[in-house]
Structure 1
Amino acid sequence: MSSTTREEAQLPDPTIGRTRNATTALVFEDRAYSRAELDALASGLAVRLAGRGVEAGTRVALMSSNRPEFVVAVQAIWKLGASVVLLSPAYKLDEVAHALELTCPVAAVGDHPVLAAHADMLNLDEPITPESGEGPGIRHDPGAEALLVFSSGTTGLPKAVRHTHGSLAAAVAHWRDALQLTPADRVQVLTPPSHILGILNIATALEVGAWLRLHRRFDIDLMLRHIERDRITVEMAVAPIALAIAQHPDLESYDLSSLRYIMWGATPVTASITDIVTRRTGVGWVPAYGASELPVIACNPIDGARLDSVGRPVPGVSVRVVSLDTGEILPASGVGEIQVRAESLMAGYLPADANPDAFDDGWYRTGDVGYLDEDGWLRLTDRSKEMIKVKGFQVAPAEVESVLHGHPDVADCAVFGVPDPATGEAVIAAVVTGTPVTEAELIALVGDRLASYKRPSRILPVPEIPRLPSGKVLRRVLKERYGRPSDE
């Protein structure tokens, strides 16, 4: 994380004045883009993509840092009736190879050398020539595939979550209504746009006509500086951002009075952190709950939000709780698996063989455990699935374990998560070794093969991995034995 001095924060912003113009759709650093400019750039890029074989019904891989060209690329792909495969810039070679093999895109666009190593990538660092006029027509068949994002499974490599234009449009409408966003709002996005929350925030802001600032990367000083300077009205936060706000030594020196609220999503709310921020700034929080498969499930009311609940199901989303033992629908306050359905539900997974276990008679099985109380407030108590959530990103234990098993001195291993105040959860690896191997060596092995957020924060030497007779790892036993919070 870089820092910004208070002297820099006092410099005049070259976008102020023209970015307050009602036609401004997006701001990045000192450059403002109108809706017409974005459309012209998207049309120009669409022409180049069409020359590479992109047409309706095809897929295009997009691996890009946070930049305006990311937004332009998504719009260009949609103009051609194609769907966009979002690849995290944190992915390493093997992860990108898996994603490309799974989704079979006909073209690639981005700014990342890892994607360029696998495909003939149209580089976003090259200038885009705007196309005058309307350019290629936008096709929005609600049933057509629009977007693929990746969600980790518990038993293997990440799955691709398929959204249609119809399901994505429904998710955007749910997010707009839940957060009460209007053209008068001013928001900024610091989270990766390849994550469902990032692309949802961008798509919703553009659909609503809100003023949007996109940041190259997360920088707490820049974030606070632009809340003050741009008069941001809604701030989006995940656990690391919330913690950085709470720990900022000069937080009171920034004028955050323009904020209506801060939204907390992707990880459970840490009440101590929210309390500190509200006490120091006077700004309240709005917890929300969603998933890649159904982006907006529940949200707190803007007025009267509660930190002990992810809120009530948003209008248009149905939620039920079923018994973990029998699958029967439970009454109010009965604890079980949370299942959801809505028009915003994904079309399904790739590979297709992951779909049968994902649904129960048309209801998506979230794998989260909780209950709906008598008044309809939804509370999460546990996760029946084994995914670990780090900074809002899902980490599949099996994926990390497969890398560790590749070390010649690792006889057995199991990966699990423990609470962490900075990241939501931390990845812990219990390892049985035949001969001594250093913690740093194993952590580096994972870091070389997988995205940095999947890297274990601790390696625990253990005499054996607890398993059922079937061979299934008893991760709950590992958590009970070794899973103290990482800050202890």
Structure 2
Amino acid sequence: MPDPVVLAFEGRDYRRSELDAEIASFAAVLAQRGVRPGQRVALMSSNRPEFVVALYAVWRLGASVVLISTAWKRAEVAHALALTEPAHAIGDQATLAELMPMVSLDEERAAAPAPAAVTPDADAESVLVFSSGTTGLPKAVRHTYGSFAAAISAWRTALQLTASDRMQIVTPPSHILGLLNIATVLESGGWLRLHRRFDIDTMLRHIETDRITVEMAVAPIALAIASHPALEAFDLSSLRYIMWCATPVTVSVAETVTRRTGVGWTTAYGASELPVLTCNELSGGPLDTVGRAADGVRLRVVSLEAGEPLPTGEPGEIQAQSNSMMAGYLPAEDTATVVVDGWYRTGDVGFLDDDGHLRITDRAKEMIKVRGFQVAPAEVEAVLHGHPDVSDCAVFGVPHEADGEAVVAAVAVHREVPAAELVALVGESLASYKRPAEIVFVPEIPRLPSGKVLRRVLKERHGCTSDH
């Protein structure tokens, strides 16, 4: 019977039989520690094979995993534990060990007989991930064994993954994208390389040496690829495509990569609450859309004011239904504000075109109202990204006595650029009310690991360093 290598990390390869044996062995350790079906187990681990082993060991026992980011500080981890109340903890982080008894992923473990694998009900809880938390404290998103299996199936179909595909994971495994990629590749029988952290040269080198077929890129990774001075020196011909995830595509960045490498892009759209909403054609669909509804997903666009379904072409809030939708939030009372009549409210604004492609124009909560007109930050950002000296940018609104709100652009540059030049650039392409009232030059744009801009942080910093 074939026993392929399915996982690689630094200098070690794991065959399927080796990985399965390690999962069974660790499940035995957890069972001895008292882990039982239905319990929650906190997992705070860097991106390494032991993360995968721990994840599947918990699932083998029919328990659920609470995934905690290694980037979090003590107060954030304490909040996550208080919210989810796990009975056990696993990891490689001192922060978690200080807060509750933790099984270390680095300790030597004596061999023990593997417990029989539990087959949980589809509606039993399997994993809790945390929402992005761009405002306030993060919420825990609860997925069942059934909903997460549906998400894996939809992602596998969308990516057309087979056992011959090869992927590397450079994004945090505690985030829904990293988690979903790991689980989907392994379920597809494909090959996976994990990296402790993102490094652009390491990532590009492994595309070449490992013959990676599918590469994931959130916005910071896409920017790093596009601006790499020696990009043409890497052989990226094994790639079927690069997938842009987590944020709308910055077309100028994607086109730069394609021009320099010949590799095309495709786009996908998902959320922690419903991991796979849409995916574009892998042959290269239009980059200004996030594609059509994924397998098993129903989409609709509703009025921002009345909540009534809108016809094709009219922008409103994007809503979705799917078997892969979360079971709810913790705190539970927050669920009712996001799931209404069985529809998940994404909070994103967009519209469906005549071909069923979904176009996202912005976040409902991030729309800036200037003199009654709505300004989409992404629209202004797209223009600013077109300036050759702009390395990254983010647009947000601040209170304005006369206009209601004013548009502010935080901009990171390769070399000095006059603020007036950037304001004029926006004015050439967009309506006058969309022009930034202020340009704030910053060393870098604060982003979550998913690539989402932390506009709240920019607003808090506003006024500290600026150029009018």
User: Counterpart in 1 of 2:310?
Assistant: 330
Question: Do the aligned partners of residues 424 and 115 (structure 1) sit closer, same or farther apart at CA in structure 2, a change above 3 Å counting?
Answer: farther
Cα deviation, residue 139, structure 1: 2.3
SS of 1:461's equivalent in the other structure is coil
Q: Distance in 2 between matches of 1:217 and 1:300?
A: 28
2:167 is aligned with 1:165 = no
Read off the aligned partner of 2:264 and give its amino acid letter.
G
User: Counterpart in 1 of 2:154?
Assistant: 174
Q: Distance in 2 between matches of 1:81 and 1:427?
A: 44
Q: Distance in 1 between matches of 2:109 and 2:276?
A: 34
Read off the aligned partner of 2:125 and give its amino acid letter.
E
Deviations 1:94-153 (A, max 9, x none): 111110001000011101111111111111121345656x54314242111000000145
Cα deviation, residue 67, structure 1: 0.5
Contact conserved, 2:29 with 2:109, CA < 8 A, in 1? no
Question: Do the aligned partners of residues 428 and 102 (structure 1) sit closer, same or farther apart at CA in structure 2, a change above 3 Å counting?
Answer: farther
Out of 293, 311, 317, the position equivalent to 1:313 is 293
Q: Which has the higher contact order (CA 8 A, sep 6+)?
A: 1
Cα deviation, residue 238, structure 1: 0.5
Out of 129, 138, 157, the position equivalent to 1:149 is 129
Q: Distance in 1 between matches of 2:31 and 2:140?
A: 24
Question: Do the aligned partners of residues 32 and 44 (structure 1) sit closer, same or farther apart at CA in structure 2, a change above 3 Å counting?
Answer: same
2:69 is aligned with 1:88 = yes
User: Counterpart in 1 of 2:102?
Assistant: 121
Contact conserved, 2:5 with 2:14, CA < 8 A, in 1? yes
User: Counterpart in 1 of 2:457?
Assistant: 456
SS of 1:385's equivalent in the other structure is helix
Out of 347, 350, 364, the position equivalent to 1:370 is 350
Out of 234, 238, 246, the position equivalent to 2:226 is 246
2:232 is aligned with 1:232 = no
Contact conserved, 1:193 with 1:199, CA < 8 A, in 2? yes
Read off the aligned partner of 1:48 and give its amino acid letter.
V
User: Counterpart in 2 of 1:379?
Assistant: 359
Read off the aligned partner of 2:276 and give its amino acid letter.
V
Q: Distance in 2 between matches of 1:58 and 1:108?
A: 11
User: Counterpart in 1 of 2:279?
Assistant: 299
Cα deviation, residue 251, structure 1: 0.9
User: Counterpart in 1 of 2:320?
Assistant: 340
Question: Do the aligned partners of residues 115 and 427 (structure 1) sit closer, same or farther apart at CA in structure 2, a change above 3 Å counting?
Answer: farther
Question: Do the aligned partners of residues 68 and 456 (structure 1) sit closer, same or farther apart at CA in structure 2, a change above 3 Å counting?
Answer: same
2:321 is aligned with 1:355 = no
TM-score by length of 1: 0.77
Deviations 1:145-182 (A, max 9, x none): 00000014576311100000110011011111111110
Cα deviation, residue 309, structure 1: 0.3
Read off the aligned partner of 2:172 and give its amino acid letter.
P
Contact conserved, 2:3 with 2:17, CA < 8 A, in 1? no
Q: Distance in 2 between matches of 1:380 and 1:305?
A: 15
Question: Do the aligned partners of residues 427 and 23 (structure 1) sit closer, same or farther apart at CA in structure 2, a change above 3 Å counting?
Answer: farther
Question: Do the aligned partners of residues 275 and 155 (structure 1) sit closer, same or farther apart at CA in structure 2, a change above 3 Å counting?
Answer: closer
Question: Do the aligned partners of residues 44 and 290 (structure 1) sit closer, same or farther apart at CA in structure 2, a change above 3 Å counting?
Answer: same
Larger mean CA deviation between 204-213 and 152-161 belongs to 152-161
Deviations 1:378-416 (A, max 9, x none): 0001111359xxxxxxxxxxxxxxxxxxxxxxxxxxxx9
Cα deviation, residue 194, structure 1: 0.3
Q: Distance in 2 between matches of 1:318 and 1:68?
A: 35
SS of 1:327's equivalent in the other structure is coil
Deviations 1:263-296 (A, max 9, x none): 0000111111111110111000011000000000
Question: Do the aligned partners of residues 357 and 340 (structure 1) sit closer, same or farther apart at CA in structure 2, a change above 3 Å counting?
Answer: same
Read off the aligned partner of 2:463 and give its amino acid letter.
P
Q: Distance in 1 between matches of 2:55 and 2:198?
A: 22
Contact conserved, 2:264 with 2:284, CA < 8 A, in 1? no
Deviations 1:424-468 (A, max 9, x none): 7489999xxxxxxxxxxxx9xxx9xxxx99693572239xxxxxx
Question: Do the aligned partners of residues 176 and 376 (structure 1) sit closer, same or farther apart at CA in structure 2, a change above 3 Å counting?
Answer: same
Aligned residues: 401
Which stretches in structure 2 are left out of the alignment for 5+ residues?
368-376, 386-390, 400-441
Out of 80, 97, 100, the position equivalent to 1:99 is 80
User: Counterpart in 1 of 2:39?
Assistant: 58
Q: Distance in 2 between matches of 1:162 and 1:44?
A: 27
Read off the aligned partner of 1:378 and give its amino acid letter.
L
Contact conserved, 2:232 with 2:261, CA < 8 A, in 1? yes
Which stretches in structure 1 are left out of the alignment for 5+ residues?
1-20, 388-415, 431-442, 463-481
2:243 is aligned with 1:263 = yes
Deviations 1:58-94 (A, max 9, x none): 0000011110000000011111110000000011111
Cα deviation, residue 360, structure 1: 1.7
Contact conserved, 1:321 with 1:339, CA < 8 A, in 2? yes
SS of 1:456's equivalent in the other structure is helix
Out of 195, 210, 233, the position equivalent to 2:175 is 195
Read off the aligned partner of 2:225 and give its amino acid letter.
I
Question: Do the aligned partners of residues 386 and 154 (structure 1) sit closer, same or farther apart at CA in structure 2, a change above 3 Å counting?
Answer: farther
Q: Distance in 2 between matches of 1:154 and 1:198?
A: 19
RMSD of the alignment, in Å? 3.0
SS of 1:365's equivalent in the other structure is strand
User: Counterpart in 2 of 1:402?
Assistant: none
TM-score by length of 2: 0.80
Q: Distance in 1 between matches of 2:171 and 2:255?
A: 23
Cα deviation, residue 36, structure 1: 1.7
